[in-house]
Chains A and B, each alone.
Chain A
Amino acid sequence: MITTAIKKHKRALFLAVFVLFAGSVNAQVVNLLKINQLESRMEKGGDTVYVVNFWATWCAPCIAELPHFEKLQVEYRDQPLRVLLVSLDSKSKLEKVVIPFVKRNRLQTEVFLLNESNEQEYIDRISKEWSGALPATLVYNRKKNIRSFYEKEFTYPELEKMYYSSK
Chain B
Amino acid sequence: MKRLLVLCLLSIGLLAKAQTTGYQIGDVAADFSLKNINGKNVALADMKSAKGYIVIFTCNTCPYAVAYEDRINALNKKYAAQGYPVIAINPNDPGTQPGDSYEKMQQRAKEKGFDFPYLMDPNHVITKKFGASRTPHVFLLEKTGNGNVVQYIGAIDSDTEGNNPDKVKYVEKAIEAIAAGNKPEITTTKAIGCTIKWKKDGA
Contact = CB atoms under 8 A, between A and B. Distances in A.
Chains A and B belong together in one complex: yes
Interface of A: 56, 58-61, 88, 90, 92, 119-120, 123-124, 129-135, 151-153
B69 to A, nearest CB: 15
Interface residues of B, number: 20
Closest 6 CB pairs of A and B: A133-B134, A58-B63, A131-B133, A123-B190, A133-B195, A132-B190
B201 interface: no
Given A119-B189, A133-B193, 16 more contacts: A56-B192, A58-B64, A60-B61, A61-B195, A88-B192, A90-B160, A120-B158, A123-B191, A129-B14, A131-B137, A133-B192, A133-B194, A133-B196, A134-B192, A134-B193, A135-B195
B155 interface: yes
A151 B63 contact: no
Contacts of B192: 56, 88, 119, 123, 132-134
A120 B191 CA distance: 7
Contacts of A131: 133-134, 137, 190, 193
B111 interface: no
A90 B190 contact: no
Contacts of A135: 195
B190 A130 contact: yes
B46 interface: no
B165 to A, nearest CB: 14
24 contacts: A59-B63, A59-B194, A90-B160, A119-B158, A123-B190, A123-B191, A124-B190, A129-B14, A131-B134, A131-B137, A131-B190, A132-B134, A132-B155, A132-B190, A132-B192, A133-B133, A133-B134, A133-B192, A133-B193, A133-B194, A133-B195, A134-B192, A151-B133, A152-B195
